[in-house]
């Protein structure tokens, strides 16, 4: 490293943050990658094992075709090149929860090659950016060590239920530039994986796990100086990933200011994220791939992926989140934020929204804005309160569309409309029955005129104010009108009063 650099003059804002992510996704298969054992979560320890996944001598692995198909599907959704020839390698290391002494993985011929995910950081002015992917490869998971944490010196135990579970490891290139962008990437990736139904992405159950490689670059006198790369493990939520990257970048900056240690002086390090202390702490040194002594697995033949298999996977993708957001904006007139809210609630929510907007539209034009407001406020609130999904929502899109159409038609106003919805939610009735129960009837024009006249006669001071140009004063008359007749529509009443007094 150049010894003449004046480190004191370099600020944190001069550093360029370089982040690459490795995401392990558990594929949604009933059985493991190379044997028939169940992948169900939460069973008693060591009840889902067999001689193959416990690595007994003389056993042979057999590839789970479903796991391969789900990997191809994922690769296509992530714009990856799909390999026509892919093979299996042994990754050798010693650890108590790895009975074979190696993991079956893919070294030089992964199932998915380069690809990208288009990512937009929420609430920022930055345009969306392509986060490029290096590869995605299939591998089997290891088991789990269960340590006694009582501090009384108890024993450690091994649970091999997870051993052999299919994982797809998705590796980005080091081209993520901020902690917020890393979080946005993970959020978008999870959404895609859920939309194409390849994983349940449950972080608590370990079906989505993430490590981050972080370092800093400084451009000094035309030379790039890089701090040693640190791999952060144990990122158990997207928020943890964001915070860990932020913390680690600051730590590396301080360290570099102090020691000037660069990528040339120190090997890649591994640190763990401590969520309660909100900092990264040192772990064992990271093995380089040479330490794993990868070699082709002699028990498994290479896989040839055909055009037909790729075509089948392509046809099963359905419309992806990014495309759906664009559709909701162009066809339903939603803004970026509202379309993102609906799409992030899942494919079923998008279907519900479309049925609602189409069903309550007029003259062949969907009622996008209003449908989005009702979904975003009334429905989302109900689902949050009841910890439910849209499939459990008691009012169908068709029934709610009927209500919205009546609001648009002036039969009932928004406020009473919400009472109607509450009635339908509690009793399960349809719109007309809810109207009957609540005594909602359309006010005819004769009654409306009489009501207006009564208000005008009884409130001369307010009428003078309105005539004097203070149109807002009509509001106080609407309140009074609704006490006399709750069915009166505020908008219609307002216009009628203004017409009568000649404004």
Q: Which stretch binds Zn ion (CB under 5 A): 37-45, 130-138, 287-295, 351-359?
A: 37-45
| # binding residues, Zn ion (CB under 5 A) | 5
Complex with Zn ion: residue 52 or 412, whichever CB lies closer:
52
| Beta carbon of residue 32, minimum distance to Zn ion (angstroms, whole number) | 5
Of 26 and 227, the one with the shorter C-beta distance to Zn ion is 26
Q: What is the largest CA-CA distance in the chain?
A: 99
Determine which residue in the list 15, 21, 23, 37 makes contact with Zn ion, applying CB under 5 A. Answer: 37
Q: For residue 159, give the 3-state DSSP assignment.
A: strand
Phi, psi torsion values for 246, nearest 5 degrees: -60, -50
Secondary structure of residue 227 in the 3-state scheme: coil
Q: Other CB atoms closer than 10 Å to residue 465's CB: what's the count?
A: 16
- Is 63 near Zn ion (CB under 5 A)? no
Say whether 5 sits in a helix, a strand or coil. coil
3-class DSSP state of 186: helix
Q: At what angle do helices 336-344 and 347-359 cross, to 10 degrees?
A: 120
How is residue 265 annotated by DSSP? T
For Zn ion, the binding residues in 313-352 under the rule CB under 5 A are none
Stretches 19-27, 49-57, 250-258, 341-349: which one binds Zn ion (CB under 5 A)? 49-57
C-alpha to C-alpha distance for 434 and 420, rounded to whole angstroms:
6
Cα 203–Cα 209–Cα 215 angle in degrees, nearest 5: 130
171 touches Zn ion (CB under 5 A): no
Q: Is 50 in the site for Zn ion (CB under 5 A)?
A: yes
Cβ at position 38, least distance to Zn ion in Å:
9
Site string for Zn ion, 17-36 (x = CB under 5 A): ------------------x-
Shortest approach of Zn ion to residue 375 CB, angstroms?
44
Residue placing its CB nearer to Zn ion in the complex, 161 or 399: 161
CA within 13 Å, CB half, 362: 8
Q: How many residues does the chain have?
A: 503
Task: Choose between 68 and 334: whose C-beta lies nearer to Zn ion.
Answer: 68
* Minimum CB distance to Zn ion smaller for 164 or for 490: 164
Please identify, among the stretches 43-51, 333-341, 413-421, 442-450, the one whose residues bind Zn ion according to the rule CB under 5 A. 43-51
Per-residue DSSP letter, 112: B
Beta carbon of residue 47, minimum distance to Zn ion (angstroms, whole number):
11
53 binds Zn ion (CB under 5 A): yes
**How near is the Cβ of 35 to Zn ion at its closest, in Å?**
3
Residue 207 contacts residue 239 (beta carbons within 8 Å)? no
Choices 51-59, 84-92, 300-308, 461-469 (CB under 5 A): range interacting with Zn ion: 51-59
Q: How many other CB atoms are found less than 10 A from the CB of residue 380? A: 16
* Closest CB 51 distance from Zn ion, rounded Å: 7
State how far the Cα of 177 lies from the Cα of 21, in Å rounded to an integer: 11
What are the tokens at 49? 């094992």
Tell me which residues touch Zn ion (CB under 5 A).
35, 37, 50, 52-53
């Amino acid at each position: 490293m150049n010894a003449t650099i004046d480190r004191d003059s370099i600020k944190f804002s001069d550093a360029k943050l370089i982040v690459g992510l490795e995401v392990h996704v558990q594929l949604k298969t009933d059985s493991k990658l190379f044997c028939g054992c169940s992948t169900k979560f939460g069973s008693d320890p060591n009840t889902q094992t067999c001689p193959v996944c416990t690595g007994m001598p003389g056993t042979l692995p057999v590839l789970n075709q479903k796991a391969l198909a789900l990997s191809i599907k994922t690769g296509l959704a992530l714009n990856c090149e799909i390999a026509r020839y892919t093979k299996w390698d042994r990754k050798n290391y010693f650890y108590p929860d790895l009975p074979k002494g190696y993991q079956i993985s893919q070294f030089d011929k992964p199932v998915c090659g380069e690809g990208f995910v288009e990512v937009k950081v929420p609430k920022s002015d930055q345009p969306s950016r392509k986060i490029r992917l290096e590869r995605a490869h299939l591998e089997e998971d290891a088991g789990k060590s269960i340590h006694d944490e009582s501090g009384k010196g108890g024993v450690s135990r091994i649970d091999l239920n997870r051993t052999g579970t299919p994982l797809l490891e998705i590796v980005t290139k080091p081209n993520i530039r901020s902690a917020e962008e890393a979080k946005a990437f993970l959020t978008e990736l999870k959404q895609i994986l859920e939309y194409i139904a390849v994983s349940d992405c449950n972080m608590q159950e370990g079906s989505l796990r993430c490590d981050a490689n972080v370092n800093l670059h400084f451009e000094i006198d035309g030379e790039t100086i890089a701090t040693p790369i640190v791999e952060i493990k144990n990122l158990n939520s997207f928020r943890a990933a964001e915070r860990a990257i932020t913390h680690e970048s600051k730590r590396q900056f301080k360290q570099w200011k102090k020691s000037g240690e660069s990528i040339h002086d120190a090997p890649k390090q591994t640190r763990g994220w401590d969520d309660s202390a909100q900092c990264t702490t040192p772990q064992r040194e990271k093995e380089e791939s040479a330490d794993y002594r990868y070699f082709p697995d002699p028990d498994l033949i290479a896989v040839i992926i055909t055009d037909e298999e790729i075509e089948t996977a392509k046809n099963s993708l359905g419309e992806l989140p990014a495309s759906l957001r664009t559709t909701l904006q162009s066809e339903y007139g939603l803004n970026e934020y509202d379309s993102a809210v609906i799409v992030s609630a899942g494919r079923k929510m998008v279907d519900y929204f479309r049925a609602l907007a189409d069903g309550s539209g007029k003259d062949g034009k969907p009622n996008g804005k209003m449908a989005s407001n009702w979904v975003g406020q009334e429905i989302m609130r109900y689902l949050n309160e009841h910890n439910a999904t849209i499939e459990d929502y008691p009012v169908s899109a068709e029934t709610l569309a009927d209500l919205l159409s009546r609001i648009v038609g002036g039969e009932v106003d928004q406020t009473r409309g919400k009472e109607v919805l509450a009635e339908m939610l509690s009793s399960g009735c349809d719109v007309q029955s809810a109207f009957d129960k609540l005594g909602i009837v359309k006010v005819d024009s004769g009654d409306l005129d009489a009501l207006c006249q009564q208000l005008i006669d009884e409130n001369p001071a307010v009428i003078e104010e309105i005539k004097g140009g203070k149109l807002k004063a009509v509001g106080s008359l609407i309140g009074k009108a609704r006490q006399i007749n709750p069915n009166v529509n505020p908008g219609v009443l307002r216009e009628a009063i203004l017409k009568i007094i000649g404004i």
